Amino acid sequence: MPAPIQNQQELQFKGYAVEDTENWEKFKLIDFQPKPMGEHDVDIKIEFCGVCGSDVHTITGGWGKVNLPVIVGHEIVGRVARVGGAVTEFKVGDRVAVGAQVCSCGECNLCKTNNEQYCRELVFTYNDNFRGCGTATQGGYSTAIRTPDRFVFPIPDGIKLEDAAPLMCGGLTVYSPLVRNGAGPGKKVGVVGIGGLGHMAIQFAKALGCDEIVAFSHSNSKEKDAMTLGATKFVATREEGFQKPLLSSLDFIICTADVASGVAFKELLETLVPMGKFVMVAQPDDKLPSLERIAFGYAFFGGSLLGSKKEALEMLQLATDKGVKPWIEVMPMSDVSKAVRGLKDGKPRYRYVLKQDIDQ
């Protein structure tokens, strides 16, 4: 483990950028300018960054227009190198993390009620711009990041930095809807898709004490993994009539599938109790099917975005207490092209984490 940073440092800001969505596997190491240092800002020397499906959706142009050049990555962990004058929560050398959001207005009712991820002035960690100064946000495939302290999370001592990285988006994205929909003792939960998000959703559902956790996957290839992660039942959705033994039995389903085509929405909705909830946490490039069928099942169909700082801190503590740990493969950051191609092809089991190796 590297020695803690003792004195405030001026960091070099450079990272692996994509300059053309048509050549999304081609990364160029560039220098970039962070936002001006503010009283509440924290400079972080990055050590690891998880590779998220959002990164691939962005660099391929699957989610629309991209501010180029773009440095993606929003599962960021490292150590504090510098703090603004008004920062009291962190000191130089602290182990910290940053997720998919780096700013909000701080004044609206959403920001004041631990719902800052839904603020109308939300600023994403990359492919966005800070309000006011207009500086482009750049992500964690880089040496450093400058972020307001509200969006910096202390990492408990019981979690390794590389294990903390995937929790910052993948973990928080599933934890928030689980707790907001009452996951816990007495509840029966379904998880659709056993991948980067789904494998953490199963673990958190177990850690929260759900009575039953049903893992849904297209085929049987991940059955052993799902059961090892904590599922109480595995269901292959390509089998006709898979939903019949589960009709009107689940309180809540969290869907982490990164493609809409091939997801058996109609049959999955039939497994919900009346007024049950089906929550999408992935954002596929392809369109969702017509939702008119929902009215006949008395189910709620909705989405969820990231999580609040309050939830992030609770999630990290729960992960520490219950041993929730993402299944990761660590790669040097210089292998970023290999990592995004592997993710695009569905190869990781279940999260790639890049170790920062840029010369500074």
Mean pLDDT, rounded, for 73-84: 98
Residue 126 CA from chain centroid, whole number: 13
User: Could you give the CA distance from residue 221 to residue 1 in angstroms, rounded to a whole number?
Assistant: 36
* Cβ atoms 170, 136 nearer than 8 A: no
The answer on pLDDT for 343 being more than 90 is yes
Which DSSP state fits 187?
-
Tokens describing residue 46: 């990055």
- Name the residue among 19, 44, 48 with its Cα closest to residue 34: 44
- pLDDT 10s digits, 228-262: 999 999 999 999 999 999 999 999 999 999 877 78
Which DSSP state fits 263?
-
- Name the residue among 239, 237, 223 with its Cα closest to residue 269: 237
- pLDDT 10s digits, 173-230: 999 999 999 999 999 999 999 999 999 999 999 999 999 999 999 999 999 999 999 9
* Cβ atoms 288, 225 nearer than 8 A: no
The pLDDT score that the predictor gives to residue 258 is 84
* Cβ atoms 201, 182 nearer than 8 A: no
- Name the residue among 136, 123, 125, 145 with its Cα closest to residue 48: 145
Phi and psi (nearest 5°) for 16?
-90, 115
Which of 118-132, 169-183, 277-291, 336-350 has the least mean pLDDT?
Answer: 277-291
* Cβ atoms 291, 314 nearer than 8 A: no
The pLDDT score that the predictor gives to residue 112 is 97
Per the prediction, the chain carries an average pLDDT of 94
The pLDDT score that the predictor gives to residue 294 is 54
User: Left, alpha or beta for 248 (phi > 0: left; psi -120 to 50: alpha)?
Assistant: left
Give pTM, 2 decimals. Answer: 0.94
- Name the residue among 339, 258, 351 with its Cα closest to residue 24: 339
Mean pLDDT, rounded, for 25-40: 97
Which of 21-25, 93-97, 194-198, 301-305 has the least mean pLDDT?
Answer: 301-305
The pLDDT score that the predictor gives to residue 296 is 56
User: Could you give the CA distance from residue 304 to residue 281 in angstroms, rounded to a whole number?
Assistant: 6
Which of 2-6, 101-105, 307-311 has the least mean pLDDT?
Answer: 2-6
78 DSSP β-pair partners: 46, 96
Phi and psi (nearest 5°) for 268?
-65, -40
Mean pLDDT, rounded, for 316-329: 98
The pLDDT score that the predictor gives to residue 261 is 76
User: Could you give the CA distance from residue 40 to residue 77 in angstroms, rounded to a whole number?
Assistant: 19
C-alpha R_g of the chain: 20
Q: What is the largest CA-CA distance in the chain?
A: 62
- pLDDT 10s digits, 260-309: 778 899 899 999 999 999 999 988 777 776 665 555 557 888 899 999 99
Q: pLDDT: is 287 or 43 the higher one?
A: 43
User: Could you give the CA distance from residue 239 to residue 69 in angstroms, rounded to a whole number?
Assistant: 44
User: Could you give the CA distance from residue 351 to residue 360 in angstroms, rounded to a whole number?
Assistant: 26
253 DSSP β-pair partners: 190, 278
User: Could you give the CA distance from residue 75 to residue 45 in angstroms, rounded to a whole number?
Assistant: 13
The pLDDT score that the predictor gives to residue 283 is 82
Tokens describing residue 125: 């960690």
Tokens describing residue 128: 């966005």
